[in-house]
Structure 1
Amino acid sequence: MAEEEVTDTEQAAQPEQLSIVATTTDGIHVLTVAGEIDHHTGDTLGQALDHTGTPRPHVVVHMRQVAFMDSTGINILIAAHRALTEADGWLRLASPTGVVLRTLRLVGVDTVIDCHETLDQALTN
């Protein structure tokens, strides 16, 4: 029993992980992201955004479960926005909340990349 408690404590001390579930809805790639986006986890998001691989890619990043995002995440989103726009596609953000939404607004990302309150809005607007 003591070994299990040590394992739980060790896992709690590790940096927050990032998980991404990729789906497609009406030809739109939806990346549902959960966790923290920072210099430890940013590559995971970058790779997911790079693997949309269709002509005129349309991508929504669903951010409802993102608890934190630093400048790494901002830079990845801006780079993805540029790449998708150059490919005659687009990037939209859905459901950013709390500190993530405040960060997006503070640095002006919400004026460059379409941000929507809900996933449904991001999929239809």
Structure 2
Amino acid sequence: MNEGNAALLKVESEKRDTAVVLRAEGEVDSYTVELLREKLSEAFGAGLPVVLDLSDVEFFASVGLSALVEYHLRGEERGTPFRLVSPRGSVLRALKATTLTETLELYLDVDAALHA
């Protein structure tokens, strides 16, 4: 992956006592989804609930939806909660269009997701 593509997506990870919080910012597409997958894989390795904050994601392609479903299923297999925070705009439209809003756990903010 060249750095130009990586600059389109930034994912920060913060380990807390009760969960691993990931904050994604930018665009999730076929060029950047591997970064999201890497960070999700690391987060799930901690054995704590995983909270993915999507409030600063401006574009979310279908490969991103695939990654969310993959890690939702991984979480169910391991008994590890996977919670999404504040999907809006194109992210929320994509989740609604695919009815993933009925499958994935969605929260308005990180605090709500942490205390779920």
Q: Which residue of 2 aligns with 1:36?
A: 27
The Cα offsets for residues 38-67 of structure 1, whole Å up to 9 and x where unpaired, read as 101000000111112133x31010011000
| Paired residues for 1:88-99 under 5 Å | 88-99=79-90
Gaps of 5+ in 2: none
Gaps of 5+ in 1: 1-13
Amino acid at match of 1:39: S
Shifted more, 109-118 versus 66-75: the winner is 109-118
Is 1:61 matched up with 2:52?
A: yes
Amino acid at match of 1:94: V
Normalised by the size of structure 2, how large is the TM-score? 0.89
Is 1:72 matched up with 2:63?
A: yes
RMSD of the TM alignment (CA)?
A: 1.6
SS at match of 2:52: strand
| Paired residues for 1:1-125 under 5 Å | 17-52=8-43, 53-55=45-47, 57-125=48-116
Q: Which runs of 4+ in 1 moved over 6 A?
A: none
Shifted more, 33-42 versus 113-122: the winner is 113-122
Shift of 1:100: 1.0
Q: Percent identity?
A: 29
